[in-house]
Every structure is written in structure tokens, then in C-alpha cells.
Structure 1
Amino acid sequence: MPVRVKICGITSLCDARIAIEAGADALGFILYPGSPRYVEAEAAAEILEALPPFVERIAVLVNPTVSDMERIESLAGFSAWQLHGDESAEFCSSLRPRKVIKALRPPWRIAPEVAFPAAALLLDSPSPLWGGSGNRLDWPLVRKFTERLRQPFILSGGLTPENVLEAIAQTNPFGVDVASGVELAPGKKDPKRVWEFVRRCKAL
């Protein structure tokens, strides 16, 4: 199965279209005010309305309440929810039937052989701040952790067009997630790097 590609930190319709035209499978919209790639839910909704079908639209949140999510749902049609905070397994389970992607950072404190209540796990690198870090993960550590994992995982953390093929070869993820690795500046994508990142992933 081809590796799925998510371009995260979308803040404009222009960048959304660049990612889609390049062949990205999913777009990530960071609805967390502490991120340099923050976009308000109302602005994200306007972008979503202009997008073609069959593209995953993912809301990225940090420690939301159910009421936070319900408010966003009333504004925008997201297809999945990526949770980047301290959300528990119980909280994620309570969100069904919503599609949840739970972000985890090492040291991973879950048993990989026990399925976490999420559609997929996103493995990111350590950082003192919430949201994406831009730092590269220890890929051999990822491989060791995911050998017994019972659900799909998405690799994130410091990926670039230059290293993504090596990352995929070492970890064999369901998908890859990139933000800073394809940017001119936080929240502004570099079209050439977006295209090159997606091209390399899809050439596998």
C-alpha cells in the first residue's frame, strides 16, 4: 500500500491547493493558539468549503473538551481529529464515532500490543511545547516500538524531502506527516518542497 501523506499546518487556501495538486492525501489545520501555524476554526472552515472531495481534512487540537470539538463541528466539516495533548484513552474512546488520531511522544507509555482507542497513532519527537516539534525522531526506536503495534501509525517529527525515504525505509509507517520540513516560514508552504516531498513518498 502506498504511504499516505499529510501536509500539516495549512493556513491558507493557496497552500491547501498546492498540497492537493501535489498529491497529498490529507491536510492538517492546527486549531491550537499556541502554535505558529494556528488558524482559527472560522478561517479553516472557509478553506474547507473550497476544497475538492476525497481529501482528508484533519483538525489538530491540544487538550480539547468535547464542547470545544462540538463548536468546531458546528463551523467546519473535518473528517478526523488529531489530538496532541494529554488526552487519555478514556477520553479518546468517548469521542466515538469520530475518527481520532492520537499523537504520542517518547517515552511512549502505552503497551503496543494493546490497541489504543484511536484510528491511528501519530508518533512525534520530544518537545517542551505542544504541537509539532520539527525535531527528528529516533527511527530505530520507532521501529522497535511499532513491531508489536496493533494499529496503523503515522510518522512525524523532522521529516523533509531529503530524509523521508530513509525514514519510511527504517520505520514502515502507514503515513507520514510534515509541516516545517516543507515551509518557507511557519505557516507558509514552499511549493517546490511540498511537491518534492509528496513525489518521493508516492514513488515507492
Structure 2
Amino acid sequence: MFVKVCGLTTEEQIDWAVELGYTAIGVVGTTKSKRYVEPARARELAAHARGRIRSFVVAFDRSEVDEVIDDFDVIQLYNWTDLPNLAYCSSVPPEPEQTCEYFFYDASAGSGVFAEFPDWLEKVPGQVVLAGGLTPDNVAEVVATRRPFGVDVSSSLETAPGIKSFDAMRRFVEAAT
């Protein structure tokens, strides 16, 4: 099971993700987020993750992360852009020509509000990752009933925006896998 923790802001949080067995980490590159990390800091976090865990930079548009695009393994965007290492996020099915490495279904658009997952997700080809409102308490049921390629989490593991809890991270990855 692919399990990504997003919105990381410190090297310690990356170390926790590695220690706990997460598949990937996400660093937010959009200024619209409370978890925004400036480009110089994003590069430092990507360098800390390199070779240890897969790294994603997350934004709405490519223009928000253009200067760090080469520092991360995957570019996760809410607005479609043709990239070979794209994780496309949407609440509607991708068009047939919108091929990507990962398809993240996130009806919450990064707000962390849970919504039921639509049945059309079963027909999306490739690696479908469910996001939006997942918590240590609901992820096991979502995984059991939906059987996605993976899951993504952020705000439910926080004590404050960008401040993750090691215990919550541990509980989530255990429940997801």
C-alpha cells in the first residue's frame, strides 16, 4: 500500500515518515496553504528526503513550483500539466489524454474535509491515491472498501498547521497498511 504524508515542514518529520514506513512525503509549494514552504526551504527538505523516501512537491499550478521542480521526484498539481512525473489531483475523472504517474482523488482540494469516494474511481486507470479527510480512525475502512493503490494524509496528523504528531503519523500508517 502506497502511503503518503503531505504538508511536511521539517527534516524531523521526514525522518519520522522514513522510520514509520511511509512510501512518500509531500512538501507544499502553494502560498495559498498554511503549510507553504518557501522554495529555498523546499529544496532543503527535498535534499533531506533524497534517496530515503519518494518526495512530492504539491501546488495548484506548475508556475508555483517551477523553480523547485527538478528537486522533487514527483510534481503533484491540481491543474493539469503534461509532465512525465505528474501526480494529477482532481475531484472529476481525468480525460483519456490526461495520463499521469498517479491520480489523486481529492474532493477537498487540500482542505482535509472527508467526502465519500465516487464509484467512477474504480474505472480510472493507473495508480489511484485517495486523499481528503482521511484520518487514523477512518483510513482502514476506506482501504478495505475502496482498495486504492494508495492513500494521502496531511491535516488530520497535525497539532497545528505544518506541525505533525509522531503518534498520529504512526497510527495512520499502521491503520492504512
Is TM (by shorter chain) over 0.5?
yes
Which is greater in Rg?
1
Residue of 130, 136, 142 corresponding to 2:114: 136
Offset at residue 195 of structure 1 (A): 0.7
Distance in 2, matches of 1:146 and 1:34, equals 27
Residue of 64, 68, 90 corresponding to 1:104: 90
Q: What fraction of aligned residue pairs are identical, expressed as a percent?
A: 29
Distance in 1, matches of 2:16 and 2:36, equals 19
Distance in 1, matches of 2:145 and 2:89, equals 20
Offset at residue 110 of structure 1 (A): 3.8
Alpha carbons 1:154, 1:177 under 8 Å: kept: yes
The DSSP-based 3-state class of the residue aligned with 1:45 is helix
Distance in 2, matches of 1:110 and 1:51, equals 29
Alpha carbons 2:69, 2:75 under 8 Å: kept: no
Q: Which amino acid aligns with 2:125?
A: R
Alpha carbons 1:10, 1:28 under 8 Å: kept: yes
Alpha carbons 2:30, 2:65 under 8 Å: kept: no
The DSSP-based 3-state class of the residue aligned with 2:134 is coil
Match for residue 130 of structure 2? 155
Offset at residue 58 of structure 1 (A): 0.3
Q: Is structure 2 residue 23 aligned with structure 1 residue 25?
A: yes
* Consecutive aligned runs of 4 or more in structure 1 exceeding 6 Å deviation: none
5+ long unaligned stretches in structure 1: none
Q: Is structure 2 residue 120 aligned with structure 1 residue 122?
A: no
Distance in 2, matches of 1:183 and 1:70, equals 27
Residue of 156, 159, 169 corresponding to 1:194: 169
Distance in 2, matches of 1:153 and 1:28, equals 16
Distance in 2, matches of 1:28 and 1:51, equals 10
TM-score by length of 2: 0.91
Residue-pair matches, total: 177
Cα-to-partner distance string for 1:101-129 (whole Å, 9 max, x where unaligned): 01002xx2545xx3632111101124xxx
The DSSP-based 3-state class of the residue aligned with 1:147 is helix
The DSSP-based 3-state class of the residue aligned with 2:120 is helix
Match for residue 64 of structure 1? 62
Distance in 2, matches of 1:51 and 1:110, equals 29
| Counterparts in 2 of 1:48 and 1:137: CA distance versus 1, 3 Å | same
The DSSP-based 3-state class of the residue aligned with 2:62 is coil
The DSSP-based 3-state class of the residue aligned with 2:9 is coil
Distance in 1, matches of 2:122 and 2:93, equals 15
Q: Which amino acid aligns with 1:20?
A: V
The DSSP-based 3-state class of the residue aligned with 2:34 is coil
Match for residue 158 of structure 2? 183
5+ long unaligned stretches in structure 2: none
Q: CA RMSD in A?
A: 1.8
